[in-house]
Structure 1
Amino acid sequence: MAVIREQDIDKGRDAWRRWADAARAQRDAGTDALDVRPDLPRPMWAMAVRYTLHLLERKAPGPGVEVRVAPWGAVKILDGPESDPHNLTPPDVVELDPDVWLRVAAGITAWDDERDAGRIGAIGERDDLGWLLPL
């Protein structure tokens, strides 16, 4: 199932642009990059997350790593072993909160910085997606 509906792609692109602009303005105003969290409506956050997960899925398709950004979406990316047919969970899973995901997707923070701050949960050998980011 797609993380974003085709008819919502333009809304997602706009939400992503607005989130990234607000995040950069917040950072430029002196907020520490790891604390950037724009005060925008929840539906805008949801669309930005879904749209960026869609971009990630297109950039690195495959069944090997599941990227989860609860509560708004999850995608499977990269080549590799597929999900176990009994539980549908791939061997590699990465979980991020929406603010962490959007910061690394926008290049506000680096993957290593968020991971070192303990804000990325990862299981498996392919837990470093920094080389795919920013989008």
Structure 2
Amino acid sequence: MPQTAVIPPGTGVPLAPYVPGTLADGILYVSGTLPFDKQNNVVHVGDAAAQTRHVLTTIQGVVEAAGGTMADVTMNHIFLTDWANYGAINAVYAEFFPGSKPARYCIQCGLVKPDALVEIATVAHVGKKA
């Protein structure tokens, strides 16, 4: 099956061997997205809401680069470091998904950089573009 890497303009170099998104048969798989700047430094240290907004804005850029919108998102995988941040993460999440909500799951875990409070991976159905 043909696959297309989706790399929005201005994307920094990833920490590991992956691309921001892969489009295959109209389905976009967005890699786990952390609150990183272009140099892979954590932004908004200590602020789960701001980190979540940064992560979802980054994901939105990948989805749009693939020709979709956030309304095309069908699944989110949310990883957080502390359940105390669950409410703040959900408040920002609701801003990005105001209508019908995608399926999702949320787990508490350690992340690649200690100052990162949230990571989200996404699946979106954007049509057959690859």
Q: TM-score, normalised by structure 1?
A: 0.28
Higher helix residue share: 1
Higher relative contact order (CA 8 A, sep 6+): 2
Higher strand residue share: 2
